[in-house]
Structure 1
Amino acid sequence: MKETSNSIWTKPFLMAVSNNFFVFLVFYSLLTILPVYVINALQGSEAQAGLVTTVFLISAIIVRPFSGKIIDMIGKKKTLVISVFFFGVSSFFYFMISDFQLLLGLRFFHGIWFSIASTVLVSIAADMIPGHRKGEGLGYFAMSMNLAVVAGPFLSLALIQFIPYSALFLLFAGMMVISFILTFGIQTAEVPAAVTKAVKRLTMKDLFEVRAMPIAFVGFLTAFAYSGIMSFISVYAKSVGLFESVSFFFVVFAAAMLLSRPYTGRLFDQKGPDSVIYPSLFIFAAGLILLSITHSTVILLFAGALIGLGYGALLPSYQTMSIQSAPRERTSHSTATFFIFYDLGIAVGSVLLGLISAGLGFTSLYLISSGVVLLTIFIYKLVSKQSSRTQSQNVEVLEQ
């Protein structure tokens, strides 16, 4: 499928956005509710509750390098249909499993299909967007994930007060049925057969896109800092007596992201990535510093707004740069490479920042996270010089 107009909001793009929303809604819902399920329903320990997330991330990280090769071998459309199907089937089996060991096996299996589905969806969406509007278009696409970050935990924690776990898991499976149906309405741009068959042996080129690694490393550092929000904000809020306000933190976080997204996406396309990334990193760091000294709901929510405004513009900007760093036929590999580093940042950050919080406290955790973001500014400066030369060449290719 070639880009034949300047429109972003085509019917296939809307279906891709909706599909991505359902995948990430189920992902974040399970991420929130499964630790509670392990402790309350399976009578497991807190360590076991943490394992259900760790095992999922491990399988996703292991499979991610192979995602690009898988997509090349069987095509984007088939990869999308198959991965969303098995992601949905996995969601259904939570209803049937009441043994912790089997649950871990299911989480590992589920992580495989999440890794592939999330990679191919970004790759497909990038192909649908006109080259000169990549930043804006991918920003809109990322909004589906941003909405799921808030809607998933809110939905699961709200519903579990009124319905049993089995009904909640069935609801997630039902969402994936809708997602699976939507895959058939998504058009894809396939890699020509000659390109697909050119490499028969598995090589490093099949696993990684080297040209995307510099900006992917910047993504790693940003994800490392953000993992402190994902993993510890609720515990931190409880420790300072603000647990009742933490749900509003995510609402403000999402609102700041969504309200700024159209502007930052257009700014990226018109003025270049530096015009978005530098101020966003500074704002993200400021939000983390403010979070470290939070003692009232007002400060907590203001920190949420700054973090949403700063971090919210970074992920789609990095994704756009990673895609623009390589030719169009390498879109899936660039996307996979970026997510490998991003997933590792979340995983490594959750462990190391957890140790920091245990030894030094949450104030130090968020101050150190802000320091990582400030360091990222200097790393990005080095990356930006190299990326600007490559991107200017590939944007022209993406337009063709």
Structure 2
Amino acid sequence: MSAAGTARQTPPATGRREPVFTLPFVNLMVANGLLRVCTYMLIALVPLYALDRGVSTTVAGLTTTLYMGAAVVLRPLSGKLVDTRGRYAVMVVGASLYCAATGLYVLTLPIWALLAARALQGFGFALNGTAVMTLATDLIPESRMSEGIGYLGVEQTVAQLFAPWLALELRGTYGYRTAFAVVFALGVVNLFIRIPLRTVARRLDARRREEASRRGPAEEAAEQVGPEKGPLWSRIVDRDAWRPSSIMFLLMFGAAGINTFMAAYATGHGIANSGPFFTASGLMVAVSRLTAGRLGRRFGTVWVIAPGIALMAAGQLGIWWSPDLSVLMLAGAAYGLGMGAVQPGLNSLAVLSAGRERRGRANSTFFMAMDLSQAIGAVALGAVAGVAGTGAVFPISAGLMSVACVAYVVLRRRGFVG
């Protein structure tokens, strides 16, 4: 890591504790929280809607594949746009694309148009997600970055717990058209809530430009070498943020295994309803995100991230061993507690390793690592499951997490990650 990158990870000590919950940050949380609710409602609704239209399960699966694929494709560009065009502009464009695509679901579209709308929504999701997180990291004090990112992530957990239920209740009572109309209305409200952020975002953009103008010629040249004149990968991946992002890449293989194979494995072991696993995991993610940042600030990041990875690995082994639902729920709690601590911690390291002018690229690097890991992990672990059975997925995932833990500790001692 460059000397500049290392210096940025250690915020200046101050006698005053800077606030996280400023009015703009709360505004951003509320707006993004509404979009999270829309996302999880549509995750529940769209595949079922396609199946009820009479398409095959393969085509129904494409509603998710195209959504995530479009997000992965646009993720590298989203980071560059956020850094060059401004956080607010990219955020509003992304949220508008997402909302417009949602409005199309209210119509009775042919299947090809439904799939196209889902891909358009994926583009909006990528632009919005990178811009929101980058604007958030501009608003959060650097001394409390992990803590603030953790708070921002709580809204995802809350949405994940109740939004699918709400969507299915609306579908069952009023039908798809009403359910989609409710999602669209929430998207429109989310757009209006973002309007007050325009002023503060412009002020932050002006501050970044002023800071860039004060840099010396040598430092400015050093900032430009990797992204503009290096190989293609260096224009996509931030040269400092890739280190903590690579740790997250290894960890998200396990998430792919859980999302894809856990329910089938539990059913094969006599646990008919594995839903409480996700409930326990989601609740502990929320608890962890509310507390881990403060613990990291007090004891140091390593004392949050390393134990968090160990808890995630323990959760994977718990799934593999679980003889009944109670043990499976404990495994979910351990996994959620670890994930809630590790993700904001590594995300904050990725962001603080880059200057303000590269935070968009740093965030897109981190999210690309997560997206690609889940996409590759689902295929790779699927091949493992086909050869050795679904049970083999979980100890292998635990092994990858152990490798990630060792890599983090070693890289930290050598000064490559914070």
> TM (normalized to structure 2)?
0.85
Deviations 1:142-175 (A, max 9, x none): 1112222323333333443323122211111111
Q: Is the 8 A contact 2:78 2:126 kept in 1?
A: yes
2:314 equivalent to 1:303: no
Q: 1:327 to 1:291 in 2, by over 3 A?
A: same
User: What SS is found at the alignment partner of 1:211?
Assistant: coil
2:51 equivalent to 1:34: no
- Aligned match for 1:236, one of 258, 265, 270: 265
- Cα distance in 2 for partners of 1:231, 1:170 equals 30
Residue type matched to 1:52 in 2? T
- Cα distance in 2 for partners of 1:313, 1:29 equals 26
Output aligned runs, 1:1-400, within 5 Å. Answer: 6-39=18-51, 41-186=52-197, 187-188=200-201, 189-190=204-205, 191-192=208-209, 204=232, 206-244=235-273, 246-386=274-414, 388=415
Report the CA distance between 1:113 and its aligned residue: 0.9
Q: 1:383 to 1:27 in 2, by over 3 A?
A: farther
Q: 1:367 to 1:155 in 2, by over 3 A?
A: farther
- Cα distance in 2 for partners of 1:98, 1:54 equals 19
- Cα distance in 2 for partners of 1:47, 1:329 equals 42
- Cα distance in 2 for partners of 1:321, 1:178 equals 33
- Cα distance in 2 for partners of 1:382, 1:97 equals 55
Report the CA distance between 1:61 and its aligned residue: 0.9
> TM (normalized to structure 1)?
0.89
Report the CA distance between 1:195 and its aligned residue: 5.3
- Cα distance in 1 for partners of 2:320, 2:172 equals 31
- Cα distance in 2 for partners of 1:79, 1:5 equals 31
Q: Is the 8 A contact 2:148 2:293 kept in 1?
A: yes
Q: 1:54 to 1:389 in 2, by over 3 A?
A: closer
Report which of the two structures shows the higher radius of gyration computed on alpha carbons: 2
- Cα distance in 2 for partners of 1:242, 1:185 equals 49
Q: Is the 8 A contact 2:83 2:361 kept in 1?
A: no
- Cα distance in 1 for partners of 2:155, 2:88 equals 20
- Cα distance in 2 for partners of 1:21, 1:232 equals 28
Q: Is the 8 A contact 2:170 2:178 kept in 1?
A: no
Q: 1:290 to 1:213 in 2, by over 3 A?
A: same
Q: Is the 8 A contact 1:37 1:165 kept in 2?
A: yes
Deviations 1:73-97 (A, max 9, x none): 3211111122111111111112224
- Cα distance in 1 for partners of 2:316, 2:307 equals 14
Residue type matched to 2:410 in 1? L
Q: 1:360 to 1:29 in 2, by over 3 A?
A: farther
Query: Which shows bigger deviation, 137-146 or 29-38?
Result: 29-38
Q: Is the 8 A contact 1:282 1:310 kept in 2?
A: yes
Deviations 1:109-150 (A, max 9, x none): 111110010001011111111111111111111111222232
Q: Is the 8 A contact 2:83 2:358 kept in 1?
A: no
* Identity rate, percent: 27
Report the CA distance between 1:305 and its aligned residue: 0.7
Aligned residues: 386
Report the CA distance between 1:24 and its aligned residue: 2.3
- Cα distance in 1 for partners of 2:26, 2:250 equals 31
- Cα distance in 2 for partners of 1:381, 1:68 equals 28
Report the CA distance between 1:260 and its aligned residue: 2.6
Residue type matched to 1:211 in 2? D
- Cα distance in 1 for partners of 2:309, 2:98 equals 34
Residue type matched to 1:184 in 2? I
Q: Is the 8 A contact 1:293 1:363 kept in 2?
A: no
Q: 1:166 to 1:242 in 2, by over 3 A?
A: farther
Q: Is the 8 A contact 1:326 1:334 kept in 2?
A: yes
User: What SS is found at the alignment partner of 1:359?
Assistant: helix
Residue type matched to 2:37 in 1? L
